[in-house]
Amino acid sequence: MTGYALAVTLCLLVVALLFALLRRRRIREKYAALWVILAIAVGLLGAFPRLAFWLSDVVGVQAPVNLLFATAFVVLLAVCIQISSEVSSLEEQTRTLAEEIALLRLEVRQSTELAGPAEQTPSTDAASADSTTTDGPSA
């Protein structure tokens, strides 16, 4: 099997894997679209190797391999920046949710303290004392 046929075969396998991941909801559409486009582009270069030479002539790069490495570097850099953006957003959401949970816990504690010991039975007092010691530190 030639290198070009191997590239086309691997691209087809990657596209099939991406669609399987999409069906199982293991990857979101916005991420899968980028990878499908990238796999199709590599598949086209594998199926039509003269396309790489033509593109390198158009861009003004001496060797098609240099164009391929530069393009791969830019694509990977874009993916890293996009993933960093998503992680930052998720960290902010996690912090906000943790703060909201802490505030809700505080409200629950204050409302049970305001209810007073008259409404609680001795068995619930012991149970609540046990739960406060096993909950760990509060936020």
**71/104 same-domain check:** yes
Side-chain-facing half-sphere of 93: CA atoms under 13 Å: 6
Q: What is the pLDDT of residue 30?
A: 83
Query: 105 falls in which pLDDT band (50, 70, 90)?
Result: very high
**42/72 same-domain check:** no
Tally of domains in the chain: 2
| pTM (predicted TM-score) | 0.64
- Find the domain containing 75 and state its range: 65-113
Give residue-wise pLDDT tens across range 109-129.
Answer: 999 988 876 555 555 554 455
Q: What is the pLDDT of residue 98?
A: 97
Instruction: Give the chain's mean pLDDT.
Output: 84
Mean pLDDT of 12-26: 92
Mean pLDDT of 18-43: 89
Torsion of CA 86, 92, 93, 96, to 10 degrees: 180
Query: Which residues lie closer than 8 Å to 30 by C-beta, 6 or more apart?
Result: none
- For residue 91, being part of any structural domain is answered with yes
